[in-house]
A and B are shown apart, each in its own frame.
Chain A
């Protein structure tokens, strides 16, 4: 009996006695930074290495990369605890994390260091200011533009898009390309599009004056006559075979169709600029960039961007602040710019961005940013879901735009009204 009890206690001790290994060197504080992008991570690691070298006896920063699909779930679970990252990428979902009291206001750190926020693009600073407090320092900015395949335009003898083109000009060019593709019995299509909100219909709605979500985040105009007309324009492109069918775009990303040479042009975000640069089409200098075609009112794209935020539960807030400052410094942002990964949120670092591209004209991206409008999102995906779902159903042809999107917009407006009470 005693032998059995002794064995049992040994087993229990083994089961519960295992503990994580202690940090390698005492005195050096660990700082973790959470992000998702596999293209940006190696470049940011270069900055992290310099930071670690600068503070080698005090701090050691490590990147924790989680793929986009799981990033927010993991952040939701870890940020309210002391096991979460000290620093994290942040975007339009900021209100959710601020309201959940999981982010640290940076104002005391900014004030203590006498930091001037005017060194950053004002719109990007404002994007991370919530309820009067600054919760993140801006990292970069992104815009939407059009990339076109010069070889396809040349093959079908269609004039290349020109600056100042309109939606009607685009449809005319696409119609000519369609005629040529039909005659050649080709599987190509004139236009491809990503189905995500930011590189697609959020832009068209804004350009026609029927914003997906108003600047004050209280209203959607997508269900108005103008908004329905905008969505119908996209459905017409698909119905007339000027754009890939929705079923194809659901399975294969518009960018992938474009860089594999199957599309004449694609609406695309600047976060894919490096992909265009390094593609075989790009290396063959067959990619042209142009700002979006003008809608009823303008050709402004919607612009988003990321920032670096600090966890309210970080056990090393001083180190986390130093890391955030270092990552948003001129040197760090210039390095990111010269490695093509993002347009910096600092005007003094943006020059390196355009000149770092050899195969595409990235100056188009900087021009698009000058007239861009903030990405329409309120950080509450449940309120916008009915409208997004209804647009997806309309694109699929399962329900007419006038029924589906009108109902989706009404349902979303009800949820917005409830959220803004």
Chain B
């Protein structure tokens, strides 16, 4: 047997040599001083390489405490991302699977309301019955839907949005081109029910455009972000924080530590304010907010604020923060937006 090559020696040292070869190698080593010396050398090399790599390892740490994250997040948007990480770890620890277990109850109202339009329509429900005045805490009974398709739908959505997150981190613009059209197109293809929205408090400037075919088509092409953003950009007057405070009756909310680019108010009289914040150079999120009393929306419906074209994108999530009802949108996954939404707080 000729001398053993270094690849075989490393495989041997790694315990990855098939047993027949190992036996042969060991027999050879017993007889061959050169290969024994080589083995010693390669072992040292292997250990040194492992030690070097080991010295460049991250500290193994559990999810950092919230307070620390808050402090870090004040420094730069870069650090804010860690708080997503933290949130994700908590979500995983608590069982992020709740998204999948209970999609209709928990996620569908905020994330995938579009099918409900379709259902209301299909069931020929009187359009005025949408619970615009539903008492807080009582959800409108979700239309019976087989859970499996809902879960699949959600999974598909999250899958697409995960990809979208990656894109969004790189470029806001890219998303508008990369936007996966299926959900959007499906929503656009659904019959529209106009009358429910008429009963709902809405952001006039945005919702008004829902019925415009041009926008619907733009939406179907996956141009959600651009159209939504530009719409607000053009139609919503920029205001300052004191003005926002007086509209809302409370301090406007945003993500701590993020730069607030602009605060705008709705062109209508519905008392809606949007805070635009930059996550990084190319990613802007919009935090829509309104005094909860002004909206009389029930907790779980996400009707209002904006039209179906945005919700079709399934990344508009809502919660109450103090006296405000807050929705968030931006070129991030629903998951990320949800985590961001959890962190909104009154602006300093």
Are both chains from one complex?
no
Residues in B lying within 8 Å of A, measured CB to CB: none
